[in-house]
Structure 1
Amino acid sequence: MLRIRSCAAAALTLATLLCPALRMHALAASADIATCDRLAAHPTDLDKPADVTGVLDIAGADVPAALKACKAAAAAPDVPRRIWMELGRAYEFARQPAEAANAYRKAADAGSAAAMTGLGVLLINGNGLKKNVTEGRMLIEKAANAGDVDGMTNLASLYGAGAGAKADFAMARKWYAKAIEVNSSEAMYQLGLMTQDGDGGPKDDVAAKALFEKAAALDHADALERLGAYAEAGRAGEKDTQAAIAYYKRAAALGNEDAGKALERLRCPFGIKNRDGKSVGRICFDGG
């Protein structure tokens, strides 16, 4: 029986036929993996290659291409576990939660912390799946302990909300603090909210504002909205309408709807009504 050890060692005719085909298959698989990584990798996935940026949200226009590439990549033998996680993300953004859960579970079973978080969130929310808060929390806790930053912030939120266990603000603060150590803007924002509201500790607007400022420096839209509200109200500092407007503008540009409404209120405080009392416009200070 003829055994093919490598292209170089293959018998003449068989090598000529098979080795180019094998090379082409490998190239196609590599291209699928590269496309799957580019379109569906998560920025904080510990398995993500260093040269892959990742995306927080898969753009709607990219979902079909991400699904196609990730499905093809996952079909290859010995595929890295992150590809199953990325396939799960593609399915999730395609609003196919059952398929997303199956893909996440394959990656999670192989040790992907990011997939544990993804599956855990799906199980806790129960959108399109049978809700299972207990298993979801267990997966998220495992991911957090493995160093997944989204696992940390989600576990903190579960402690704060008392989901799957008794509420524990001290543990919530602990896990937000751990996530902040790895530069999580969401954790900075959430711990800022706990600090301003006095959840699990004394109210401290100055400390809360400092956390919002750290998150805002990383373009966290909700933190920018909070800084606008602080500047507008003179909270933890002097009132500064212009600073508030600047914060609200940045937050609104990043998609925060509350900031957009606040910006409209500050820029255009006076409404114009016709004789029937119907609003027909507003007067804006900057001519907007």
Structure 2
Amino acid sequence: MMRRLYGLTFVAMIVALAPASAHAQSADLVLCDRLAADAADPDKPADIKGVADVAPADIETAIKFCKKAAGASRRAMYELGRAYAANRQMPEAIAAWRRAADKGSTSAMVELGVLYGTGAGVTRDEAQARKLFEHAAQAGNPRGVSNLAALGGGGGGAPADPARSRELLAKAAETNAEAQYQLGLMLAEGTGGEKDDGRARALFEKAAAQNHPGALERMGAFSQEGRGGPKDSAAAKAYYERAAALGDEDAKKALERLRCPYAIKDKRGNLVTNLCF
């Protein structure tokens, strides 16, 4: 299973900015970052924490200050798009992301790529999605790498290439939990190369340590089955519980199977009920 792609759309937009001093512009960017910075954006300075989503109470302020800072900062333009998206102003969000991408924002490229990959708000165009992800990946954006791999790794509209996907994911897996998870899946399934449960488990364990829901679920399954390492029922349950708490549906089902392990079937082999304890 591959992680779903995240993203939005595009249109043209012109942001009118009033003249401002360097000091005022810097203050605008500080406030924009505080309210709308993306924790995963490679453009983000290390001392800025970022937010998963722009808080509803902060949307209006974020739009105001990010709009002021956007003329001199591609990061602010990308963050302006995030603020518009949080306010469900998708044409404006798309326009901001397009302008940020034109200035070299790899995070904006990823957002636009997702739109094309999923057909959300634009005509679905996998070749265009791949092109955007490829540009972001070549610049070192981990989400660009993992999303390109999810499309199959072929460049410029080329057919899917699982071996190339492995290669791309391996680069991002050094630091990115999603890439670790996806590469682990390919190794566990033998997709694009040799099957290797040991390496897959090691990658799942790294991603699980970063609270990746899918990796936690996979660690539960590998621990339960003894794949790629020791069998440990207690550890399996703990991993499933952590994944389930983060919303992973497969982990929830696994916990239910642990609770109700005995299946009662009719003479045709159809499940009648489960015995629970």
Shorter-chain TM-score tier: 0.7 to 0.9
Deviations 1:9-44 (A, max 9, x none): xxxxxxxxxxxxx88x966x6565334323322223
**Counterpart in the other structure of 1:125:** 118
When normalised by structure 2's length, the TM-score is 0.79
Residue 76 of structure 1: CA displacement? 4.8
Which deviates more, 145-154 or 64-73? 64-73
Q: Secondary structure at the match of 2:152?
A: helix
**Counterpart in the other structure of 1:38:** 34
2:187 matches 1:195: yes
Q: Which of 1 and 2 has higher RCO (CA within 8 Å, sep 6+)?
A: 2
**Structure 1 stretches of 5 or more lacking a match?**
1-21, 272-277
1:240 maps to a residue whose letter is: D
Residue 167 of structure 1: CA displacement? 0.8
Which deviates more, 248-257 or 186-195? 248-257
Residue 252 of structure 1: CA displacement? 1.4
Counterpart of 1:58 (choices 29, 50, 53) is: 53
In the alignment, the residues of structure 2 paired with residue 242 and residue 147 of structure 1 have an alpha-carbon distance, to the nearest angstrom, of 38
**Counterpart in the other structure of 1:10:** none
Written as runs of structure 1 = structure 2, the 5 A alignment for 1:183-222 is: 183-222=175-214
Deviations 1:225-265 (A, max 9, x none): 00111122232334322111111111112221211221233
**Counterpart in the other structure of 1:137:** 130
**Counterpart in the other structure of 1:242:** 234
2:260 matches 1:265: no
In the alignment, the residues of structure 2 paired with residue 217 and residue 247 of structure 1 have an alpha-carbon distance, to the nearest angstrom, of 10
Written as runs of structure 1 = structure 2, the 5 A alignment for 1:74-223 is: 74-76=67-69, 78-159=71-152, 164-181=157-174, 183-223=175-215
Residue 161 of structure 1: CA displacement? 8.4
**Structure 2 stretches of 5 or more lacking a match?**
1-19, 264-271
Deviations 1:158-201 (A, max 9, x none): 225899420101110111011113x0010110000000111111
2:189 maps to a residue whose letter is: D
In the alignment, the residues of structure 2 paired with residue 67 and residue 153 of structure 1 have an alpha-carbon distance, to the nearest angstrom, of 32
In the alignment, the residues of structure 2 paired with residue 200 and residue 163 of structure 1 have an alpha-carbon distance, to the nearest angstrom, of 19
1:229 maps to a residue whose letter is: A
- Paired positions, count: 250
When normalised by structure 1's length, the TM-score is 0.76
CA RMSD of aligned residues (A): 3.0
In the alignment, the residues of structure 2 paired with residue 34 and residue 241 of structure 1 have an alpha-carbon distance, to the nearest angstrom, of 49
Percent of pairs identical after alignment?
52
In the alignment, the residues of structure 2 paired with residue 83 and residue 138 of structure 1 have an alpha-carbon distance, to the nearest angstrom, of 23
**Counterpart in the other structure of 1:17:** none
Kindly indicate which of the two structures has a greater share of residues assigned to helix.
Answer: 1
In the alignment, the residues of structure 1 paired with residue 160 and residue 76 of structure 2 have an alpha-carbon distance, to the nearest angstrom, of 35
